[in-house]
Amino acid sequence: MQNSDVPIYKQIAAQFKEDIMNGKIAEGEYLPSIRGLARDLKISVITTMKAYEQLAEEGLVSAVQGKGYIVNPQDREMVREQHLRLLEGHLQNAIESAKLAGVSREELINMINVLYDV
């Protein structure tokens, strides 16, 4: 059994991954400097570094000597797949909540239709 507390570096990596996936940080952009981010987030430099290294391992960013970490061009197919996986997760949560609240299938679809147009 593993404790559920996620290490900070993983949390940071996940946040950046999300931002890169949904285009908040565009390809070719640099991530904040390691020591600058450590300062802003009030965490140690090595933790930030480890988060960036993980992103680099996953191929999302690359280290540029002396300049920091740059966001790589993202594989569109892969990005879409990632998004679909996220969507599926969220829908599953929605369905679970609907069942708990006694919301029928039709009602749920209606709700989605309404919200989709907003």
Partner 1 sequence: MENILTAKGLTKAYPKFTLGELDFEIPKGFSTALIGANGAGKTTLIDVLCGVIHKTAGDVTYFGTEKDIDREEVREQIGYCASQGFFPAAWKPKDIAISMELAYKGFDRELFNKLCEEMEVDNEFSRKPVNMLKQSDGNRMRLALAAVFARKTDMLILDEPGSSLDPLMRDRLCDRLRDYLDEGNGEKSILFSTHNIADMENAADYAIFMDKGKMIERGFVEDLKDKYIIVRGEPADYDKAKALMLSHNVNRTTFEGLALAENARAFEELSAVRERPTLQQLSVGLLKHAEENR
* Pick 7 or 23: Cβ nearer partner 1: 7
Over the range 2-37, which residues count as b (16 or more CB within 10 Å of their CB) and which as e?
Answer: eeeeeeebeebbeebbeebbeeebeeeeebbebeeb
Binding window for partner 1 (CB under 8 A); candidates: 28-36, 57-65, 81-89, 93-101: 28-36
79 CB neighbour count, 10 Å cutoff = 14
* Pick 44 or 93: Cβ nearer partner 1: 44
Cβ 30 to partner 1, closest distance in Å?
14
User: 111 Cβ partners below 8 Å, 6+ apart?
Assistant: 103
Quick note: the x/- pattern for partner 1 over 34-73, rule CB under 8 A, is -xx-xx--xxxxxx-xx-----------------------
